[in-house]
Amino acid sequence: MFTFTLRRLLIAVPTLLIISLVIFLLLEAAPGDPLGDVPLTVPPDVKEKMRAALGLDSPWYVRYVLWLKQFFWVEPLHLIDHLFGTSLGEGMQRVISFQSRQPVMQIIAERLPQTLMVVGLAYLIGVMIALPIGILSAYRQYSWFDNLGTFVSMVGFSVPTFFTGVVLIIVFAVKLQWFPSVYDTTLKVTDWASFKAQLRQMVMPVTVLALYNAAQISRFMRASMLDNLGQDYVRTARAKGLGERVVVLVHVLRNSMIPVVTVIALGVPTIFGGAIITEQVFKVNGLGQQLISSIHANDLPMVMTLTFIFAILIVLFNLIADLLYGILDPRIRYD
Amino acid sequence: MTEAPATLTLPRPPRSQWRDVWDQFKTHKGAIVGLTVFALILGAVLIGPLIWTIDPTTVNLRARNQGFSAAHPLGTDQLGRDLLARVMAGGKVSIAVGMTAMSLSILLGTTIGVLAGYFRRLEGPLMRLTDLFLALPLLPLLLLMVTLFREPLSRSFGPEGGIFLLIVCAIGATSWMQTARIVRGEVLAIKEREFVLAARSIGTPARRMVTRHVLPNVLSPIMVSATLGIAAAIITESALSFLGLGFPPDFPTWGRLLYDAIDQMQLYPWRVIIPGIAISLTVLSVNYIGDGLRDALDPRIRGR
């Protein structure tokens, strides 16, 4: 197991390097100019200086290596400085956003809580809804409950989140006026009233994302339970007189959870991507919205860093899913 | 055991495999409903404009923001353009994008899957490539590609053709990986079967092995992922349009119509809901067809 983890970590390093190069070259090949918004009246030599100040005058491989150094060496040093009050990274150039001239990581750290709060909570709720539905659907296969569940989950992942979101806004924010349609990120939870306001504005984005995730996970749970319910050990468990509750909720459930847990782990990075759309619908001031506004503004360092962070999440959770599979299922041996 | 039943003496007339598949498909109620709904949508989108001949881009400022009426069954938008005509025109583009992007993704996925499965030397590099693509953050990259390359492409291929090409290629290039993995798995299994050994022993060249013996046998998983691919591509295209990164405004797609209506959804919610329902219904019906096909093409389920 340990050697497997080590090997996977070693493979992850070149994978991430290649991904970062791909993203970098894609941005490089693009014709967009970060100085495109600069007025035409600015003389060319001043423009050249501005270009040099942004570090755009050196060839692409120099800038790529510089970005790598900043991302993997300078930024962690700054994080250590921030956490322990040391001064290891003093005077070193950080990854700076073209748009706001702030360190990119600082902006990301400001926006991460919003995304995590909405997306993370939605995923948790989605999983908590999906598991019981999947279990019951499989146990009563082809019952009305199962058929309804199949239909609802089919609808759940066929209807795009931007449409469910907009419909919820029309019904609950415009017509019924129960919830606010725009997520107010400046709201600070200080007392009961602001806590209630925070809850009310989270209801709709969380519902949209939770339903979407629940639709997929409940299908996996159902399929996995069905695989196990027909196995010999289930008959044995029933034959030796165990109660139906114990058979289903202990014996079958524990075995069925193995693939489902890995699916849940694999889904974590994709929800960050999917949240881009939901954040846009509800105007949540999170990472996804930041990505879109940086793409529009041609803010190369920001786009590069954010996209790469998404890639790290995917590689990391793939690894976690593989390891979980090995830990949960003793029949699987990687060595 | 002496008297055999009379029916056994008469051998059943030979039935083609596709006949069996269709019989199994027919028993899946959802799939039949899905097929009907999809055929209706396709018919409305293709034949509809021949009957309802109002031009979707005609601006009529006197008839702005109208409700449902005989002259405009679905009303008009903020520039007085007929919404029914726009929904039909948008559907044509959305479905065309879905179909074309799916074909591209299936072509890529099948080629890579067959090559990786059949030729051992190519397996390592091609599967590494697939893993690499699976580790890419796809939606951010799609957004990037579409934003960065829309200007030069629309300059060289015209605003409509350029964006169409860009979106189709972007979706196709980022969605082939699942197909490639499934096809590779199937090819690996088929390669070990006796008929492949027999074909090889009479000296069939590799090209004909692939086209005559391997490809027909991996057709079922390809068909299923093609069907599901249409749904995924339609959703991706409308998501791009929804984020304002899709087709130009005078070239409607369902996602674009939804996006354009968001600003005034408080006053005219129907303008958001109609294209949204069109997208959802299409995707739902296509997903049901895919579900039914998966059951029908699985020989372990068929015939039960």
Query: Between residues B54 and A255, which one has the greater pLDDT?
Result: A255
**Token digits of residue A81:** 């400085």
pLDDT given at position A319: 86
Between these two residues, A93 and A321, which has the higher pLDDT value? A321
Please state, in angstroms and rounded to a whole number, the distance separating the CA atoms of residues B212 and B199.
10
Among A89, A95, A92, smallest CA distance to A67 is for A95
Reference B184, options B115, B106, B105; nearest CA is B115
Q: pLDDT tens for residues B224-280?
A: 889 888 988 999 888 888 888 878 777 788 888 888 888 877 777 888 888 889 999
Confidence (pLDDT) at A31: 63
Contacts of B130 in chain A (CB under 8 A): none
From chain B, pick out residues whose CB is under 8 angstroms from the CB of A268: none
**Cβ-Cβ contacts under 8 Å, A166 against chain B:** 258, 262, 265, 272, 276
Q: Report the distance separating Cα B129 and Cα B236, nearest Å.
A: 22
Percent of chain B with pLDDT over 70: 88
Q: Is A295 on the interface with B (CB under 8 A)?
A: yes
- Residue-wise pLDDT tens digits, A110-126: 888 888 888 888 889 99
Per-residue pLDDT of A151-194, as tens digits, reads 888 888 888 888 888 888 888 888 888 887 777 767 777 778 88
CA atoms of B134 and B131, how far apart (whole Å)? 5
- For residue B283, the model assigns a pLDDT of 92
Instruction: Please list every residue in chain B whose beta carbon sits closer than 8 Å to the beta carbon of residue A296.
Output: 147
Nearest to B283 by CA among B241, B239, B243, B221: B239
Confidence band, pLDDT 50/70/90 cuts, at residue A55: low
Residue B167 · residue B238 · CB < 8 Å: no
Find which of A158, A164, A295, A309 to mutate to test the B interface (most B CBs within 10 Å of its CB): A158
Token pair belonging to A29: 């090949």
Type of residue found at A158:
S
**A23 interfacial to chain B (CB closer than 8 Å):** yes
- How many Cβ atoms sit within 10 Å of the Cβ of residue B103? 16
H, E, C per residue of chain A:
CHHHHHHHHHHHHHHHHHHHHHHHHHHHHCCCCCCCCCCCCCCHHHHHHHHHHCCCCCCHHHHHHHHHHHHHHHHHHHHHHHHHCCCCCCCCCCCECCCCCCEHHHHHHHHHHHHHHHHHHHHHHHHHHHHHHHHHHHHCCCCHHHHHHHHHHHHHHHCCHHHHHHHHHHHHHHHCCCCCCCCCCCCCCCCHHHHHHHHHHHHHHHHHHHHHHHHHHHHHHHHHHHHHHCCHHHHHHHHCCCCHHHHHHHHHHHHHHHHHHHHHHHHHHHHHHHHHHHHHHHCCCCHHHHHHHHHHHCCHHHHHHHHHHHHHHHHHHHHHHHHHHHHHCCCCCCC
Contact criterion met (CB < 8 Å) for A19 and B136: yes
Cβ–Cβ gap B280/A159 under 8 Å: yes
Q: Which of A76-90, A310-324, B25-39, B157-171 has the lowest mean pLDDT?
A: A76-90
pLDDT digits (tens, 9 = 90+) for B136-180: 888 888 888 888 887 777 787 777 788 888 889 999 998 899 899
pLDDT of res. B147: 81
Tell which residue, A196, A187, A167, has the closest CA to residue A285. A187
Q: What is the pLDDT of residues B55-113, one digit of tens each?
A: 777 776 666 666 667 666 677 777 667 778 888 888 888 999 999 999 999 999 999 99
Q: Write down the pLDDT at residue A49.
A: 75
> Do the beta carbons of residue A204 and residue A169 sit within 8 Å?
yes
Torsion of CA A126, A132, A134, A136, to 10 degrees: -160
Query: How far apart (Å, rounded) are the C-alpha atoms in residues B117 and B130?
Result: 13
The average pLDDT across B196-210 equals: 90
Give pLDDT, residue B172: 92
- Which pLDDT belongs to residue A12? 84
The per-residue pLDDT for range A64-74, each reduced to its tens digit, is 888 888 888 77
**Span A228-280, pLDDT tens digits:** 888 888 999 999 988 888 888 888 988 888 889 888 888 888 777 767 888 88
Q: Nearest CB to A160: which of B149, B266, B279? A: B279
Read off the tokens for B186: 């199937």
User: In A, which residues are within 8 Å of B139 by CB distance?
Assistant: 273-274, 276
Please determine, for residue B1, whether its predicted confidence score (pLDDT) is greater than 50. no
Q: Which two tokens stand for residue A284?
A: 């949540």
**Contact predicate B53/B293, CB 8 Å:** no
Structure token digits, residue A185: 């990120």
| Mean pLDDT for all residues in chain A | 82
**Which domains does chain A possess?**
35-97 (no CATH), 108-162+206-328 (1.10.3720.10)
Please determine, for residue B10, whether its predicted confidence score (pLDDT) is greater than 70. Answer: no
Give the pLDDT score at A195.
82
Closest CA to B283 of B225, B234, B221: B234
Measured distance CA(B221)–CA(B179) in Å, rounded: 8
CB neighbour list of residue B108: distance below 8 Å, 6 or more residues apart: B172, B173, B176, B179, B180
Q: For residue B106, what are its two tokens? A: 């299936």
Q: How many CB atoms lie within 10 A of CB A329?
A: 14
ipTM over 0.90 threshold: no
H-helix segments, chain B? 6-9, 17-27, 29-51, 83-118, 120-134, 138-157, 159-173, 177-191, 194-201, 206-208, 219-242, 254-262, 269-297
Q: B217: which DSSP letter?
A: G
Identify the contact set of chain B against chain A, taking CB-CB distances under 8 A.
30, 131-132, 134-141, 143-145, 147-149, 151-152, 231, 235, 238-239, 242-243, 258, 262, 265-266, 269, 272-273, 276, 279-280, 283-284, 287-288, 291
> Two tokens at B236?
């991706």
Of residues B242 and B5, the one with the higher pLDDT is: B242
**Residue B246 and residue B249: Cα distance in Å, rounded?**
9
